[in-house]
Chains A and B, each alone.
Chain A
Amino acid sequence: MRQVKGLGGWIRSAIWLELIIPGYFFGKTFGTADAKFRFLDTFMYPPLFINICGYFRDLPVGYYTGRFLGVLVGAIIGVLCALLIGVFYKWVLKDWAYSKAARLGSLAFILVALLTGFMSDMFNESIGMGLRIEQNKPEELVGKFLVQDYGSFAKGTLITEQNAGLLAAYGRVRANNEASAKNWWIASIIFIYVWFGLYLLCAHRFFKRNLVPRAAFFKLQMINAAVFVIYLRMGFGISPSEYHYILTRFQYLFGGGI
């Protein structure tokens, strides 16, 4: 057995940290969702994950501690998912160490993980909610209203208009633009499949530069594709409805959706 000298041990542990990062990205979103958004988030993520994280988040330990616990549990779920992908990678790369195979799998997965963990979090929570009802937002109505708005553009616009009178008391309400809805919908579909293509292409390059045997490329890509299908089937936030949601926020931000 080769003796590990100097910083070698730290380098080895850094492999595990690299494995944790995508898992953390993937899973922390469940944890960041507080009670206000949890109902909404069940439409984007598996309710089981949301509920597990929500349990820890709602423990009476203070705001930041609860948030920390919720994020931590979400991250653990994400890391477990990454480790599971690693098992399949190890199954294909038989003579590889599990840590290296898992790192490979999880870093290839990082595109999709980031999409869930960062973008949906940022757009939906940080920007989306705040913009939807600009001032004096009624806490009890925000989630409900937005969930109703998820269906389609026409429906969302209709609901917005119907509720405008009710919500007007809380501030200015803006509806989606039905006229340009179709284009944005198409754009969202294109975006999601381009991202899917990018996911596979990046994984291919990643395998190449990590000296993965050529014969294993196809099998690993099949695992990636399967992961993506399962991901969609589980109802993760990458569904077109979320992209509709994200892109309408862009539309709104840049003045096209009023």
Chain B
Amino acid sequence: MALTAFTREEFVRHVRNMALLGLVLYIGGILTGYVTNWVCLMLGLCALTLFFTEFYYGRTKGASYFWFFVFIYGMGNYRPFRFPLNAESWKLQTNDIIDWIVGGKGVMLLPKTDWVMLTPLLAYTLYIAIRLFKTPPDPAAKANITVPTKKWRMFTQTFVLVWYFEIFASGMTARPIENPELLFWALAMLLGSLLLPFFIGRWFCGWFCPVGALQDGILKHFKNYTGIKISDKFRSQINRIYVPVIMVGTIIVVYTFERVFQLASSAEMITSPDWKNLWKPMVWTKVLTNGMFLGSLLFAYRVYCRYFCWYIGYRVTLGQPALYRVPFKTDRCQICPECPPEEHCVMGYQFQSKPEGEEELSIRNIGEVPATCTLCYECRDTCPHGVFRGRINRINVIPERCVGCRLCELACSGGRLGVFDPSRSNIQIEMEGMPELPLPKIKDTCDACNGDPKCIKVCPARVIIWDKEGVRKDIKVNRPGVIKKFFRKINPFSKAPAACDTLCGAYPQGCPTCDKSKAVVNEEAKGVAA
């Protein structure tokens, strides 16, 4: 085995091998009583790397750190390095499910030889890590992560999933403070469902929820998977019905019969796996939840998050008065035939149509996405016209689309100055090349009409677009704000003229106001000289 750089296929194959090995060990470990939390963590990490292959392969340094982390974590499970260091606290942490002496509780296939299993696995992990260190980033994989927010989201999801796998593996007890899994969901409930929705709605679902992250990973892996189609009309209508119904149902069940849902029942099922415990509602709740999660994968992307997750009731209802939602600037929307945000939206929103029955509260009317949005920002990053962004003060052009109609010139001068004078507009169509082709050029003085450009609205060929990528970064139009203008007006020592403080570009031959002030200065200078 040479320690050379990975190819993409090799990387995927090795990660798959590790995941398979981890799965076999995990199932075998459950059956024989040999379960260590690091096996679970390793399994989780392998699965993650497999799910987000492009992400990790495009960022090989990051991936190698992950694999080193697994190696170090695995080393920690050798008895001399194990944490916590005494048997009592280990017993408390694992609720006496996992024995302190590895393999000592169940029927071991190879008794007292845990190193036989651990050492080759750790060596394999180290091998992958070293080879990844030598691998340069794959440009093709990197190019697939074109969405800037997406990488942060994937990073966060990975972090939470690793955390979740780890705490899932470290044992269960009935008391939330001692049971890390319950503590995780208690925090998720408290922060993600009760506090954060008032600020940012369902942000937790898009960025932190391990179930959502798994769906992102699983369904993105099946690239050609389309799922069973759900009509847009049905989707929009059912969203309005489902959320209140699930909310009322949940609160009635949970708060009325909460003692039926004793968390102890699930812990009992684990500590004393007896078939008589199977009737316990908590067990069935888990079975139903997992079944709905797996079943929902048949339909489409994130269907579980749309219709089955009961947290949606809390997050959407409490998110109704949320302070922030992703904006939708209707005037920027060009109704493109192919709408990238619609293709990428995890919640399946239709941005271009008004759903029947709720026209007045449609996305286009309100100017914000609905409360069910998970704030993944796929729409914001994929829309070429910056519809989902806040203020953008620059515009750009796609010259290939221009047909030379010159409507933009008229709109620019007419909208800003009130006269149709193409020579005074900030956008000019010039004929260049052989044969001559129209080439729109934007002057440096353009400030996109302070966020409301007329040219974009009139252009029939969608040549002019919002410059959300900042291609024209070097152009800076520094207009003073209201406060600056006010202080300039009241400041008797201000050097800038109060009347003309903008680069309007409206008068190429000379602005009358500026000329007037210049004349005054000249007269004063003449007077001094005389």
Q: Which residues of A contact B (CB under 8 A)?
A: 5-8, 10-11, 13-14, 17-18, 20-21, 24-25, 28, 32, 64, 67-68, 71-72, 107-108, 110-111, 114, 118-119, 198, 201-203, 205-206, 209-211, 253
Contacts and interface: CB of A to CB of B under 8 A. Distances in A.
A210 B361 contact: yes
14 contacts: A7-B357, A10-B241, A11-B237, A11-B240, A11-B241, A11-B358, A14-B244, A21-B247, A21-B317, A71-B255, A71-B256, A111-B321, A202-B323, A205-B323
Contact of B251 (A6, A18, A28, A110): A28
Given A17-B244, A17-B245, A24-B248, A7 B237 contact: yes
A6 B233 CA distance: 10
Determine chain B's interface SS by DSSP, over half rule.
helix
A210 B321 CA distance: 10
B118 interface: no
B406 to A, nearest CB: 38
A14 B241 contact: yes
A110 B365 CA distance: 25
Given A6-B357, A64-B259, 19 more contacts: A7-B234, A7-B241, A10-B241, A11-B237, A11-B357, A11-B358, A14-B240, A14-B243, A21-B244, A24-B248, A28-B251, A64-B257, A68-B257, A71-B252, A72-B256, A114-B318, A118-B194, A205-B321, A211-B365
Contact of B321 (A7, A71, A202): A202
B241 A108 contact: no
B306 to A, nearest CB: 15
Contacts of A11: 237, 240-241, 357-358
A211 B362 CA distance: 11
B232 interface: no
Given A28-B255, A209-B368, A7 B322 contact: no
B177 A253 contact: yes
Contacts of A8: 237, 357
A109 to B, nearest CB: 9
Contact of A110 (B238, B256, B321): B321
Interface string B337-359: 00000000000000000000110
Contact of A203 (B234, B321, B368): B321
Given A17-B245, A17-B247, A114-B194, A206 B320 contact: yes
B325 interface: yes
A95 B484 CA distance: 42
B360 A110 contact: no
A19 B321 CA distance: 13
Contacts of B360: 211
B398 to A, nearest CB: 33
Q: Top 9 nearest A-B pairs by Cβ distance?
A: A17-B244, A206-B321, A202-B321, A7-B237, A14-B244, A10-B241, A11-B240, A18-B244, A14-B241
Nearest to B244: A17
B255 A108 contact: no
Given A118-B194, A210-B361, A253-B177, A25 B251 contact: yes
A234 B20 CA distance: 62
Contacts of B325: 209
A110 B317 contact: yes
B40 to A, nearest CB: 27
A222 B385 CA distance: 40
A24 B260 CA distance: 20
Nearest to B247: A21
B11 interface: no
A66 B243 CA distance: 28
B336 interface: no
Interface in B234-268: 234, 237-238, 240-241, 243-245, 247-248, 251-252, 255-257, 259-260
A21 B237 contact: no
A212 B448 CA distance: 30
Contacts of B52: none
B90 to A, nearest CB: 21
B248 A17 contact: yes
A250 B505 CA distance: 61
Which of B245, B320, B358, B366: most chain A Cβ within 10 A? B320
A206 B317 CA distance: 12
B198 interface: yes
A110 B255 contact: no
A32 B247 contact: no
Nearest to B248: A17
A43 to B, nearest CB: 22
Nearest to B240: A11
A108 B321 contact: yes
Interface string B314-335: 0001101111010000000000
A209 B366 contact: yes
Nearest to A253: B177
Interface in B287-323: 317-318, 320-323
A202 B198 contact: yes
A120 B54 CA distance: 46
A107 B321 CA distance: 7
Contacts of A118: 194
B256 A14 contact: no
Contacts of B260: 64
A237 B400 CA distance: 65
Interface in B195-229: 198
B356 to A, nearest CB: 8
B194 to A, nearest CB: 7
B318 to A, nearest CB: 6
A68 B241 contact: no
Contacts of A13: 241
Contacts of A110: 317-318, 320-321
Contacts of A198: 198, 323
Contact of A67 (B245, B256, B322): B256
B459 to A, nearest CB: 30
B198 A20 contact: no
A169 B366 CA distance: 63
Contacts of B256: 64, 67-68, 71-72
A71 B248 CA distance: 13
A89 to B, nearest CB: 14
A209 B321 CA distance: 9
Contacts of B365: 211
A21 B322 CA distance: 16
B485 to A, nearest CB: 25
A202 B358 contact: no
Contacts of A211: 360-361, 365-366
Contacts of B259: 64
Contacts of B248: 17, 20-21, 24
